Structure 1
Amino acid sequence: MEWLTDEERQGLFDTFERDAFHLEMRDVYRVEDEVEPLRKWRQGVWTEEEAAQWWEPWLVKMRKATGEGRTVRRLRIVTEPITDYTRFLWEGTRFNVSAGEDVRWLPRHLVPEGTVLPPEDVWLFDDSRLIFNHFDERALSMRMERVRDPEMIALVVQVRDALWPLAIPHEEYRPV
């Protein structure tokens, strides 16, 4: 396996030319820097100002990429009824969209039968650079792997092209 270094991971959005596509397929993620925001959100004390500040580092990257005419797309396959965690993401996705990301939601039951999905969440850059995000049994993101297998890259392109038109734009999706 070819693991990305922290520097490579940080620079992913500086090096793509046209299109970045993210496929997320988990209903729960455990991310260290989300623990406190999620706790506050669940308690109803997560303010708009705190949310905006928390999202800002990501939004800077997205504004830069989309401001240069590059496309950033995110497809979230979700189980309905959605988890609290997914609702937390759904509520915050307005920030992603405001920075130029095109985010869509696809209820898992609408994924066509027989669709072969990649084994992990992925980032695909310019239809040629594929990154797997590996998770442990607790849904904790562990490491990112560069995948050079042309067949896996082709599979992800095929999945994206088949599922993207079926997915619901963020502005229209009403989670169950």
Structure 2
Amino acid sequence: MAWLTDEERAGLFDTFDRDAFHLEMRDVYRVEDEVEPQRKWRAGEWTDAQAAEWWEPWLAKMRRVTSQGKTVRRLRIVTEPITDYTRFLWEGTRFNTSAGEDVRWLPRHLVPGDVKLPPEDLWLLDDTRLILNHFDEANLSMRMEQVDDPDLVALTVESRDRLWPLAISHVDYQPR
């Protein structure tokens, strides 16, 4: 087990050559720096300008890597009807896609029963480096772990390759 340091997490996007794939499978995440934006969003006080400014550090990173010809893909497996948290993400995802990230949504009920999902949300870099994101019981990200198990890497590649074509592009997905 190799836990990533804060520096390694921050530099993750400097460590892949062609493709970064992100799998998200939770309907709610607890992220401290999202508390106030979500409060404003729920109250109808969250403007496009605020959202764009809040997303900007991530968007700058996405623009940088995609301008180098690299792909960044995100697959969100969601339960429908979606949670408020997922709707908050869905509404903000237009910023991700405008920066070059390819985001797709897959309603949980459309995941084939024979697809074995990895145990945690993850990043898969260049089909070889697997980073699991471990969460606690309150959906708070605890730490990220680089996993060197070739069977788990292969399972992740297989799951992604089966699910990605089934997923709905962000521009076409209309959540329920």
TM-score range, shorter chain: over 0.9
Length-normalised TM-score, structure 2 = 0.99
> Tell me, which stretches of 5 or more residues in structure 2 are unaligned?
none
Distance in 2 of aligned mates of 1:98 and 1:74: 14
Distance in 2 of aligned mates of 1:55 and 1:18: 23
> Tell me, which stretches of 5 or more residues in structure 1 are unaligned?
none
1:27-61 deviations in Å (ceiling 9; x for gaps):
00000110100111011101111100000000011
Q: Which residue of 2 aligns with 1:5?
A: 5
SS state at 1:49 partner: helix
Residue 5 of structure 1: how far off its partner (Å): 0.2
Instruction: Give matches, 1:46-125, under 5 Å.
Output: 46-125=46-125
Q: Which residue of 2 aligns with 1:25?
A: 25
Distance in 2 of aligned mates of 1:85 and 1:97: 19
Distance in 2 of aligned mates of 1:144 and 1:44: 33
SS state at 1:104 partner: strand
Q: Once the two structures are aligned, what percentage of the paired residues are identical?
A: 77
Q: Structure 2 counterpart of 1:63, which letter?
A: R
- Given the alignment of the two structures, is residue 146 of structure 1 paired with residue 146 of structure 2, yes or no? yes
Aligned residues: 176
Distance in 1 of aligned mates of 2:15 and 2:3: 17
Distance in 2 of aligned mates of 1:159 and 1:21: 12
Residue 15 of structure 1: how far off its partner (Å): 1.5
Distance in 1 of aligned mates of 2:148 and 2:60: 29
1:7-26 deviations in Å (ceiling 9; x for gaps):
00001101110000000000
Distance in 1 of aligned mates of 2:166 and 2:37: 31
Residue 114 of structure 1: how far off its partner (Å): 2.2
Q: Which residue of 2 aligns with 1:169?
A: 169
SS state at 1:158 partner: helix
Residue 2 of structure 1: how far off its partner (Å): 1.0
Distance in 2 of aligned mates of 1:114 and 1:100: 31
